[in-house]
Amino acid sequence: MAEYLIKNGFVFDPVLGIKGDRVDVAIKDGKIVETTALSSPKVIDAAGKTVMAGGVDIHAHVAGPKVNIGRNFRPEDKLFGYKARSGIERMQGGFSVPTTIRTGYNYARMGYTTVMEAAMPPLYARHTHEEMRDTPILDQGAYPVFGNNWFVLEYLKNHEIENAAAYIAWLLRATKGYAVKVVNPGGTEAWAWGLNCENVHDPVPYFDITPAQIIKGLIEANEYLGLPHSMHMHANNLGNPGNYTTTLDSFKLSEGIKPNSKFGRDQVMHHTHVQFHSYGGDSWANVESKAKEIMDYVNSHDNLTIDMGQVTLDETTTMTADGPFEHHLTELNHLKWANADVELETGSGVVPYVYSPSIKVCAIQWAIGLELALLAKDPMRVFMTTDHPNAGPFIRYPRIMKWLMSEEARKQQFDAFKHKDKVIDATNLANIDRELDLYEIAQMTRAGPAKSLGLAHMYGGLAPGLEADVAVFNFNPNEPYAPDDIEKAFGSAEHLFKAGVQVIQDREIVSNGNKRTLWVNAKVNENPQVMRDVKEKFLRYYTVTLNNYEVTGHYLPNPYVIEVDATE
């Protein structure tokens, strides 16, 4: 493979602790190496430019059945947005629910190289893997959802952690999944009965278990297995005024549990899109930010990581396994709604949504997301996301960087709100003058998520031995710049390397890369009871047989297996 030497760039790397110094980055055989290891490298002149590791997105909905429902039922999302094939680039379409091809290219253009699909219904894992396979350039993994799964509910009702762990290990292997995802624990199952679980003690109908038992049990099972990532949490009561207490109650369930993982993470719970979970008040009329209360907790508990779920003020498509929430949303905006039940496993809903700067609540949501990041004491534990496409399309990450890095940019946005004064009253953002620097941005978008995922040995930094995922941006941090320069520069990487292959050269996509699918193979002691339960439930309830369930072979043309041994 070709050798590269990226010379004279301003490097921001939390792994090596480099804060904008001029450092040369060397690439050989797909890895970062010492500059002395190169013999005849191709030299990339990065003078006056910013160099970072490839971005890592810990939470996005980019592949699988609900994303595809979004594509299918929103032809208007693709209207006038198609781009014909040109050069190496294949045809692309869609805005908030782009095609797989556009997903890969647009992430690459922002300098991202690893993206995790945040919710995979196990029964439709094959579909999810087919779409990931068709997404160029990016390394990807998918989180199967467990929080409403009948096996899990039955095992955890009796606190059978070992059985729950054996089932998780089996399902990760069967679906080629990466981590344990929990969405509205118990609530989506309750939705099949027309109900919901609105707090952590609201019992799940029929199963006689509470969300608190599910959350705690899944954290314990996750640590029993010692998986690379922690339990990945979307709490109950998403998107409702006053829900911050539910969020704090959910956080507290992780207290006293220590991480048991050889993969270097410090947290036992990752709570996703916290913006949607940080609301005070008791109605949409008096909803207010509780980001401060939430961040006081996060800042003082280091076994927790979170991501933002930043509202970007776009027209987008919401989609989640939180079925009851999507019904709530369609009742609110009267736009079209899709709902699905996934047998014994989960459910989902999809509704288009317009986050308008003229609507007070949307502007408050925008402010809350930014507050979470700006109140973070440790940027290694608070990550940038939009919960794509729920709070906005991922292509807005550079715009979020602009808002985080520039108080002036936030002021401009405040001035554009119709209800500016009411929004300022209901939030804290106008009193926050913090401006993040590129080092902190690199923590929130690269080193932090990589560590939380248990992938710090591969991604998130520029230390020798890591994957050669390197982005060069046309941005000089030492010269004066306007806020919009940030958005422009980080929206279009000058050069991008993925595992040592140059995929972007002079802002042109020049390679479709060699994408890999990451999954976790957790070995556990033989567990005849769980295997008998699996066989029995497939026989009695599933519409498919076990033989038609497992994801194998051609679904993962280029797998990357992370082995975990929990047999001790």
Partner 1 sequence: METVTLTIKNQPELYLEADTIAPDAFAGKKAEEIADLPVYVGREQHRLGDFFEVSGKAGATPEETKIVVGGDLSRVKYIGMKMTGGEVVVNGNADMYVGAWMQGGKITVNGNVDAFAGTGMKGGELVINGNAGNYLGAAYRGDWRGMQGGKITVIGNAGSDIGTFMNGGEIVIGGDVDVHVATHAEGGKIVIKGNAKSRLGGQMVEGEIYVLGSIDLMMPGFVYREDVDVDMDGIKGRFALYEGDLGERHRKRKGQTIYAKLYQRIEA
The single residue among 45, 76, 302, 536 that binds partner 1, judged by CB under 8 A, is 76
Tell whether residue 75 is a contact of partner 1 (CB under 8 A): yes
Report whether the peptide linkage leading into residue 557 is cis, meaning its omega lies within 30 degrees of zero: no
Binding mask 289-328 for partner 1 (x = CB under 8 A): ----------------------------------------
| Between 187 and 352, CB nearer to partner 1 | 352
Q: State the nearest-atom distance from the C-beta of 75 to partner 1, in Å.
A: 4
Kindly identify the residues of this chain, within the stretch 342-401, that bind partner 1 according to CB under 8 A: 352
Q: How many C-alpha atoms does 509 have within 13 Å on its Cβ side?
A: 22
How far apart are CB 470 and partner 1 at their closest, in Å?
Answer: 35
Beta carbon nearer to partner 1, 76 or 282? 76
Residue 425 contacts partner 1 per CB under 8 A: no
In the complex, what is the shortest distance from the CB of residue 71 to partner 1, in angstroms, rounded to a whole number?
11
Neighbours of 156 (CB within 10 A): 26
The one-letter code for the residue type at 345 is E
**Residue 73 binds partner 1 (CB under 8 A):** yes
Contacts 24+ apart (CB under 8 A), 548-553: 549/123, 549/174, 550/174, 550/175, 551/125, 551/126, 551/129, 551/174, 551/175, 551/176
Of the candidates 561, 554, 518, 560, the one whose C-alpha atom is nearest the C-alpha of residue 130 is 554
Q: Which of 336, 411, 434, 532 binds partner 1 (CB under 8 A)?
A: 336
154 vs 315 by CB, closer to partner 1: 315
The three-class DSSP label of residue 285 is coil
Question: Which residues are within 8 A (CB) of 175 and not within 5 positions of it... i.e. 6 or more apart?
Answer: 120, 122, 125, 142, 144, 550, 551
Q: Which of 47, 79, 416, 482 forms a contact with partner 1 (CB under 8 A)? A: 79
Say whether residue 285 binds partner 1 (CB under 8 A): no
Scanning 74-82, 118-126, 222-230, 472-480 for contacts with partner 1 by CB under 8 A, the matching segment is 74-82
Toward partner 1, which CB reaches closer, 42 or 336? 336
Find the shortest distance in angstroms from Cβ 329 to partner 1: 14
Residue closer to partner 1, measured from CB, 165 or 351: 351
Give the whole-angstrom CA distance, residue 274 versus residue 239.
10
Strands 25-28 and 4-7: antiparallel
Among 258, 334, 540, 554, binds partner 1 (CB under 8 A): 334
Of 332-340, 411-419, 518-526, 534-542, which segment contacts partner 1 by CB under 8 A?
Answer: 332-340
Q: 332 near 296, Cβ under 8 Å?
A: no
Q: Which is nearer to partner 1, 97 or 344 (CB)?
A: 97
- 74 is a contact residue toward partner 1 (CB under 8 A): yes
Query: Which C-beta is closer to partner 1: that of 71 or that of 457?
Result: 71
Q: Which amino acid is at 303?
A: N
Residue 208 in the binding site for partner 1 (CB under 8 A): no
Q: Which residue has the tokens 């051609």?
A: 554
| In the complex, least distance from residue 326 CB atom to partner 1, rounded to whole angstroms | 16
Phi, psi of 506 (to 5 degrees): 50, 45
- Please state the closest distance from residue 350 (CB atom) to partner 1, in A: 12
Contact residue for partner 1 among 335, 531, 539, 544 (CB under 8 A): 335
Q: Which is nearer to partner 1, 155 or 355 (CB)?
A: 355
CA distance to 45, 69, 94, per residue, from 50 (Å): 11, 38, 30
Among 17, 36, 39, 84, which residue interacts with partner 1 (rule: CB under 8 A)?
Answer: 84
Q: Strands 269-271 and 231-234, how do they pair?
A: parallel
194 near partner 1, rule: CB under 8 A: no
- Position 281, amino acid: G
Burial readout 48-80 (b: 16 or more C-beta within 10 A, e: otherwise): ebbbbbbbbbbbbbbbbbbbbbbbebbeebbee
CA distance 133 to 208: 39
User: Do residues 228 and 265 touch, judged by C-beta distance below 8 A?
Assistant: yes
**Total interface residues for partner 1 by CB under 8 A:** 11
Q: Residue 418 Cβ, how far from partner 1 at the closest point, in Å? A: 19
Asked if 477 and 438 touch (Cβ cutoff 8 Å), the reply is yes
Which residues are at the interface with partner 1 (CB under 8 A)?
73-77, 79, 84, 334-336, 352
